[in-house]
Amino acid sequence: MNYLEVAEKTAREAGVILLENLGKVKEIEFKAKNSLVTEVDKLSEEIIISNIKSSFPSHGIFAEESGRDSSESEHVWLIDPIDGTTNYAHAYPFFSISIALETNGEVEVGLVYDPVKDEMFTAEKGKGAFLNGESITVSKSHAIEHSHVCTGFMHEVEWMVEANIKHFGNFIRRARAVRRDGSAALDLCYVACGRFDGFWELGLNPWDTAAAVLILKEAGGQVSTFTGDKYSIYEKEILASNSIVHEQMIEILAIED
């Protein structure tokens, strides 16, 4: 099997576990304020890592719960076993599994799976983006006033909370609607398929964005920092859009008061 086939197979296997345990979480730990981990996060991650290692034993792993292994491989899998753990812990059905393959610093394969809706977003670099095998593209919205945008909040860093409250208010005043759904990977994929026109957030980690950013780019979207500089999955701020409203979003994020 190729890389994407392995990722799809293991995401579906982990997705079954997530659905079987939805509403039945027994153990919740706090990594930081409002940063949760459940026994299902750990089980999902174990399944994903086990499957990937059985197919590609020499590849490295960088996963949310277990961290980065000591592999020196040029191939590194970035894994979020449940993106949206707080939603999951409250049986709120908006969460996903994110799996990406980075090769020599470039993300080559990305997959985000929503087991609740059985929606599989996938991309391979240079080959387009897909939802359940059907090609997807970003929206054609030209004005922020007609745009449906989304964000998320990092609770652990106070200045990020305050900064995003300001941004949230500024977007509410300008955009058609603003949402806060709780799974950055799915939010980015929703931009990729045109359900959202833009997304911004502070404080995300590589496993949150690696797969979805590739999917968005392959769907024709644009990704940058808040100021329009080149984005890296190791950045702590992300602005993503259908590319048409990108500059308008940068202007709103630059508002000081």
Question: What residues are annotated to the active site?
Answer: 64, 80, 82-83, 85, 208
Site of tokens 């024709």? 220
- What DSSP assignment string belongs to 32-90? ETTEEEEHHHHHHHHHHHHHHHHH-TT-EEEETTTEE-S---SEEEEEEEEETHHHHHT
- 148-151 and 177-180 beta bridge pairing: parallel
Structure tokens at 168: 């949230």
H helices within 134-229, ranges in order?
158-174, 184-192, 206-218
Distance CA 82, CA 92 (A): 13
* Helix H or strand E segment including 177: strand 177-180
Structure tokens at 95: 């969460």
Distance CA 227, CA 150 (A): 18
Which residues are paired to 79 by β-bridges?
Answer: 63, 99
